[in-house]
Amino acid sequence: MGRLERVLDIFFPPKCAFCGSLLSDAGEGICPACLGTLPWTDGAERKTDFIPRIVAPLYYEGSVREAMLWYKFHNAPARGRGYGRLIAQELQKRGALDFDVITWVPLSRKRERRRGYDQARILAEALGKHLDREARPLLQKVRDVPPQSHLNTAEERRANISGCYAVCAPDRAAGKRVLLVDDIVTTGSTLSECARMLMLSGAERVWAAALACRRER
């Protein structure tokens, strides 16, 4: 730990990224109680159109859902570093490291200005740091639409997100195996649309990773 980090820990003691309890050591960023009770996916993976493999360490329920809502809507970007570490550990555990570049599902400029940060970008950059890979912006959201969480069906979500994303760096995507990062996977429609645009720009393959996914029934 560097000097600056030690000073910050004095004035801003590390807290668990899920329950908010104080930690004696920043470590993993998660308290022992949460590590033992979080809804782990235990290797279960998902897929969607244009993405044959989606990896996430946790299910989006209970304390995970509450923590993610706090991360996104309560000015808590620091939590993303611990979440990125969890995603990195899950990818290592699953042997899902066969990619050339990391990118993320971006917010629209309007929403990022209002929130103050892009939560998926923080996850992607933290993930890249832990895996010693560079995270690069390959996509931009060119149309602001209602949040996907406000829609009920997969069909509504696909229609809502269609045409919202464009590849901002086609030369960086062409011929590459891309890892696409988001915070939460529900129906997978947003990831699918982003992957479709990357594939149209010449990406060889797109896998995806997130902190949490909805449990499939």
CATH fold for the domain made of 41-213: Rossmann fold (3.40.50)
Given phi > 0 = left and psi -120 to 50 = alpha, else beta, which region is 132?
left
In this prediction, residue 28 carries a pLDDT of: 66
In this prediction, residue 115 carries a pLDDT of: 92
Contacts of 213 (CB under 8 A, 6+ apart): 41, 46, 54, 56, 58, 59, 60, 184, 185, 186
Residue spans of the domains in the chain: they are 41-213
What the block records as the tokens of 166 is 């464009």
Q: Which of 72-81, 133-142, 158-167 has the lowest mean pLDDT?
A: 158-167
User: In the predicted model, is pLDDT for residue 26 greater than 80?
Assistant: no
Average pLDDT over residues 102-108: 96
| Cα gap 134→186, rounded to integer Å | 26
pLDDT band at 20 (very low <50, low <70, confident <90, very high): confident
In this prediction, residue 6 carries a pLDDT of: 43
Strand blocks (E) in 31-95: 46-48, 51-55, 58-59
User: In the predicted model, is pLDDT for residue 1 greater than 90?
Assistant: no
Q: At what angle do helices 154-161 and 189-200 cross, to 10 degrees?
A: 40
Q: Which of 118, 92, 78, 83 has the alpha carbon at shortest distance from 210? A: 83
pTM of the model: 0.88
Strand blocks (E) in the chain: 46-48, 51-55, 58-59, 101-104, 139-141, 165-167, 177-185, 205-213
CA angle 206, 71, 11 (to 5 degrees): 125
pLDDT band at 126 (very low <50, low <70, confident <90, very high): very high
In this prediction, residue 151 carries a pLDDT of: 61
In this prediction, residue 83 carries a pLDDT of: 94
The number of beta carbons lying within 10 Å of the beta carbon of residue 25 is 9
pLDDT band at 23 (very low <50, low <70, confident <90, very high): confident
In this prediction, residue 2 carries a pLDDT of: 45
Contact between 175 and 202 (Cβ < 8 Å): yes
User: In the predicted model, is pLDDT for residue 144 greater than 80?
Assistant: no
| Cα gap 149→83, rounded to integer Å | 21
| % of residues, the chain, pLDDT over 90 | 64
pLDDT in tens, 171-184: 999 999 999 999 99
| Cα gap 38→8, rounded to integer Å | 28
Q: Which of 45-54, 61-70, 75-84, 138-147 has the lowest mean pLDDT?
A: 138-147
The string of DSSP letters for 181-193 reads EEEEESSSHHHHH
